[in-house]
Amino acid sequence: MSTATATRRTAVETHPSPEAAAVAAADAIESDLRAGRLRTLGVATGSSPSPLYRELARRGLDFSGVSLFALDEYLGLPHGHPQSYREVVAREVAGPLGIPLGAVHLPDGGDPAAYDRLIAAHGGIDRQILGMGRNGHIGFNEPGSPVDSRTRIVDLAASTREANARFFETPDDVPVQSVTQGIGTILDARRIVVLVSGREKAAAVAAAVNGPRTASMPASVLRDHADVTWYLDDDAAALLSTRDVPEVAS
């Protein structure tokens, strides 16, 4: 299933498993890489993109000329904490893809706006990989985030801290703030790949893809972008319908 207009292209692919969705997304990224169109890759953390990173690593492609830009970073974790996104991106993306740590960039809570300037100085993001939270967040842009927001410090929603508690020893260890690319920053990327899997995300997927475009469902704003592809597993796609538009509070 896919929809398109003259200026916007949103494609929605469904696959039998997260791994099959990752193979399809990896094909798109490999094609960019081989065509010389991938100098800067935006990377999300979380469990959704993990199969994609594993698949890209398995292909043994040459990513040595690619710079990585993380979507977000927790604030308040000690340097070197295994759940800091600097460590996660190094361990799950840069290392497996053979990208030197000097080419890995993350936003800095001390000067968030510098991140947008750094991205611009690298010519913008060629391909942004996104996951999506159960409440529709992208990066750490929680519901209500301005659609033109830039990289900034944000408070995490209680539901996001709960969802991410699985990565920490206790729920209280989950940071309360992060620094995240803004929705406007994300929309500046040339192409966007969104990976979502699991039944617990199905309502948010349906709201983002079929529901109203609203700041209360941050991922719904992706339809403003010229080139977005959603790679879903069947569970995440379970509530999608072009007729059955879910209610989204605005």
- Positions in the binding site for ligand GLP (CB under 6 A): 44-48, 71-72, 131-133, 139-140, 160, 164
Tokens 């970073």 locate to 73
Two structure tokens written together for 28: 């798109």
In whole angstroms, give the CA distance from residue 201 to residue 206.
Answer: 9
Could you tell me which residues come within 8 angstroms of residue 78 by beta carbon, excluding any fewer than 6 positions away?
none
DSSP state, residue 65: T
* Min CB(37)–ligand GLP separation in Å: 23
* Min CB(48)–ligand GLP separation in Å: 3
Question: Which residue's CB is nearer to ligand GLP, number 7 or number 170?
Answer: 170
Task: Give the DSSP per-residue string, 225-247.
Answer: SSSEEEEEETTTTTT--SSSPPP
**Residue 76: left (phi > 0), alpha (psi -120 to 50), or beta?**
left
Please give the order of strands across the beta sheet that includes 2-4: 2-4, 9-15, 228-233, 191-196, 127-130, 40-43, 67-70, 104-105
* Min CB(243)–ligand GLP separation in Å: 27
Two structure tokens written together for 226: 């010229």
Question: Which residue's CB is nearer to ligand GLP, number 62 or number 155?
Answer: 155
* Min CB(240)–ligand GLP separation in Å: 18
Question: Which residue's CB is nearer to ligand GLP, number 66 or number 129?
Answer: 129
Question: Which residue's CB is nearer to ligand GLP, number 97 or number 174?
Answer: 174
Question: Which residue's CB is nearer to ligand GLP, number 158 or number 245?
Answer: 158
Which residues are part of the catalytic machinery? 72, 135, 137, 142
Maximum distance among all alpha carbons in the chain?
49
* Min CB(151)–ligand GLP separation in Å: 13
